[in-house]
Chain A
Amino acid sequence: NAGVMQNPRHLVRRRGQEARLRCSPVKGHSHVYWYRQLPEEGLKFMVYLQKENIIDESGMPKERFSAEFPKEGPSILRIQQVVRGDSAAYFCASSAVGVSATNEKLFFGSGTQLSVL
């Protein structure tokens, strides 16, 4: 009964490289969220996806960042041309129901720690 799986756990990139973060939601969950956690700060919403659709990307920078959740396979958060300020822990969460459901419960993965040199 696997929970949310994220990989890699740690990712080191040099400035200008691309970072690809993967998230496999809980089996049967069709709602996926990405959050970023900076040191000494709370988790910040980035994007909300439902199978093959981006529902809300209001928390994601318009440049260099993109996310997808294809029909088959994991959700991917892609950061192009990384900069030092992108260094953070990136968490993925999934749920079986949408945000308007009263029994909504988000399950989080263990995160990917991105370090940009």
Chain B
Amino acid sequence: EDQVTQSPEALRLQEGESSSLNCSYTVSGLRGLFWYRQDPGKGPEFLFTLYSAGEEKEKERLKATLTKKESFLHITAPKPEDSATYLCAVRAMEYGNKLVFGAGTILRVKS
């Protein structure tokens, strides 16, 4: 069965309070791990793709890292506009053409 698990389900932060979101997966033939941001009533917006353990990518206050079994999305000094649902998705040999998504982490940043 497809297994992409995100934690926590929801996270409340004060503005400036850094934290991390987790995405764990159980596939053996990883071909890519994707992070997306989704705002209410909108489609997912692409953030990062990671392909191999040890890889890191950064964009503004966000930094994504990858190990063999999980990925972290680090948010440094978040602002209220970072509030959104963050989705991770996995493409793997055993999933064929599917991009398998986790259920997401709902982030709320209060000023």
Partners in one complex: yes
Instruction: Give residues in A with beta carbon < 8 Å to B.
Output: 4, 6, 33, 35, 40-45, 48, 55-56, 58-59, 91, 93, 99-100, 102, 104-111
CB pair B102–A33 under 8 Å, yes or no, is no
Flag if B96 contacts A104 (CB, 8 Å).
no
Q: Distance (Å) between the CB of A34 and the closest chain B CB?
A: 12
Q: In the complex, how many residue pairs between chain A and chain B have their CB atoms under 8 Å apart?
A: 59
**Once the chains bind, are B97 and A43 in contact (CB under 8 Å)?**
no
* Closest 6 A/B residue pairs (Cβ): A108-B43, A56-B97, A42-B101, A45-B98, A43-B101, A42-B103
**Least CB distance, A44 to chain B, in whole angstroms:** 8
Who on chain B is nearest to A98 by CB?
B97
Q: Is the CB of B97 within 8 A of A55?
A: yes
What is the interface size of chain B, counting residues whose CB is below 8 A from a CB of the partner?
A: 25
B94 interfacial by beta-carbon distance below 8 Å: no
Chain A minimum-CB-distance residue to B49: A105
With A42-B102, A43-B87, A99-B91 as known contacts, state yes or no: A106 contacts B97, CB within 8 Å.
no
Residues from chain B with Cβ under 8 Å of A102 in the complex: 32, 51
B42 within 8 A of A: yes
Q: Are A56 and B103 in contact (CB under 8 A)?
A: no
The answer for the CA separation of A43 and B45 in the assembled complex, in Å, is 13
Whether B41 is near chain A, meaning CB under 8 Å from some CB there, is yes
Chain A residues with Cβ below 8 Å from B89 are 43
Partner of B99, one of A40, A55, A106, A109: A106
